């Protein structure tokens, strides 16, 4: 079993030009690009991967392709979120059969359930597989909040080993570490650099889709080398991209960015629309300042 730590790219899902199919060639290219740039791990089928806009068959195919293309070179985490516990179990079992290294499970995102129901939801999922589970706490989207004392209860379940903590309250990181010790590893959601300062061992990064090397380097400097000043210098290079995407443009913006860089990942699926024209010039300036418009990307191989 691999120990998950470092910067993990939460990858987008490329679509064909008409949006009707997953673009397998581009998805395989994206996995290879991430690995060639030194990323520590890959997460597929999360919010940035538009999992709610995919059919069950497409979710299976994306998971299969990503695990296959990674081929053990880096850990692969598959998002298996659903509203129903039964559906989460089904998706998580599929991820395990495909050879994923872990499953990331968001709380239910429509029904309001209490703490005991959240606990039971995750317990039933964890007991259904041997795959490590990464809790995903994002109350801004789901309203449900996995607070540190509940994380500590969940950490007593054998294969609940990680949490993506996305409240933007960095106190949560050291509170979870204090309560859980080495039973659970905290990955930051939005606040990578800030969370590293208080004990996070990982970062789930959107900007790493187009800046994997810098995103991985920030972790290595901050955590492995304990060089916070050097990590800060790298972080400052990432901030313009992070800030641009932070305005609920993480899918739209990332797909538009790749297109400007010469790799067409298709448009987001409705209800999301392509990046507004009014935002394109702003994004182009951000990419230009980051040196990404002149960055030579690897070629794309046609899927067999």
For residue 303, is it within any domain?
no
Q: How much is the average pLDDT of 247-275?
A: 95
CB-count exposure of residue 93 (10 Å: 0-12, 13-18, 19+): middle
pLDDT > 60? residue 280 = yes
For residue 245, is it within any domain?
no
Indicate the pTM of the whole model.
0.97
User: How many separate domains does the chain show?
Assistant: 1
Q: How much is the average pLDDT of 266-272?
A: 97
pLDDT > 90? residue 301 = no
Confidence of residue 247 (pLDDT cuts 50, 70, 90): low
pLDDT recorded at residue 2: 79
The CATH number for 195's domain is 3.20.20.70
Report CA-CA distances (Å) from 80 to 1, 29, 93, 137, 237.
19, 23, 9, 14, 32
For residue 79, is it within any domain?
yes
- Structure confidence by residue, pLDDT tens digits, 31-45: 999 999 999 999 999
pLDDT > 70? residue 255 = yes
pLDDT > 70? residue 303 = no
Q: Are 91 and 64 in contact (CB under 8 A)?
A: no
pLDDT > 90? residue 1 = no
Print the domain residue range for 199: 6-231
Report CA-CA distances (Å) from 229 to 57, 74, 218, 235, 290.
46, 27, 10, 10, 20
For residue 236, is it within any domain?
no
For residue 288, is it within any domain?
no
Q: How much is the average pLDDT of 207-220?
A: 98
**Residue 69 tokens, joined:** 């293309």
**Residue 187 tokens, joined:** 């990955």
- Structure confidence by residue, pLDDT tens digits, 56-95: 999 999 999 999 999 999 999 999 999 999 999 999 999 9
For residue 98, is it within any domain?
yes
Write out the catalytic residue numbers: 136, 164
- Enumerate the β-bridge partners of residue 186: 163
For residue 296, is it within any domain?
no
Report CA-CA distances (Å) from 276 to 53, 111, 245, 283.
20, 32, 13, 11
**Residue 102 tokens, joined:** 């872990």
Q: Are 53 and 46 in contact (CB under 8 A)?
A: no
State what percent of residues in the chain have pLDDT above 70: 99
Cα angle 184-106-237, degrees, rounded to a multiple of 5: 75
Q: Are 48 and 11 in contact (CB under 8 A)?
A: yes
Q: How far apart are CA 179 and CA 79, in angstroms?
A: 26
- Structure confidence by residue, pLDDT tens digits, 152-203: 999 999 999 999 999 989 999 999 999 999 999 999 998 999 999 999 999 9
For residue 244, is it within any domain?
no
pLDDT recorded at residue 113: 95
């Amino acid at each position: 079993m691999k120990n998950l730590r470092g910067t993990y790219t939460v990858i987008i899902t490329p679509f064909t030009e008409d949006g009707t199919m997953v673009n397998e060639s581009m998805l395989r290219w994206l996995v290879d690009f991430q690995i060639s740039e030194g990323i520590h791990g890959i997460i597929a089928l999360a919010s940035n991967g538009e999992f709610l806009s995919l059919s069950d068959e497409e979710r299976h195919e994306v998971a299969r392709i990503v695990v296959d293309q990674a081929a053990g070179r880096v850990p692969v985490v598959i998002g298996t979120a659903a509203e129903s516990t039964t559906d989460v179990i089904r998706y998580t079992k599929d991820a395990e059969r495909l050879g994923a290294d872990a499953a990331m499970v968001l709380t239910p995102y429509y029904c309001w359930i209490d703490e005991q129901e959240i606990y039971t939801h995750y317990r039933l999922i964890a007991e259904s597989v041997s795959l490590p589970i990464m809790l995903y706490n994002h109350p801004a989207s789901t309203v449900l909040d996995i607070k540190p004392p509940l994380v500590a209860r969940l950490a007593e379940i054998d294969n609940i080993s990680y949490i993506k903590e996305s409240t933007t309250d960095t106190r949560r990181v050291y509170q979870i570490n204090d309560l859980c010790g080495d039973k659970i590893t905290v990955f930051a959601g939005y606040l990578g650099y800030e969370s590293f300062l208080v004990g996070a061992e990982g970062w789930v990064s959107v900007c790493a889709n187009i800046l994997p090397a810098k995103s991985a380097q920030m972790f290595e400097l901050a955590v492995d080398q304990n060089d916070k000043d050097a990590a800060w210098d790298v972080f400052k290079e990432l901030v313009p991209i992070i800030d641009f995407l932070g305005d609920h443009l993480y899918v739209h913006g990332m797909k538009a960015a790749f297109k400007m860089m010469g790799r067409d990942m298709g448009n987001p699926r409705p209800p999301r629309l392509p990046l507004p024209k009014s935002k394109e010039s702003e994004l182009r300036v951000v990419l230009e300042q980051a040196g990404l418009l002149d960055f030579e990307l690897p070629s794309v191989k046609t899927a067999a």
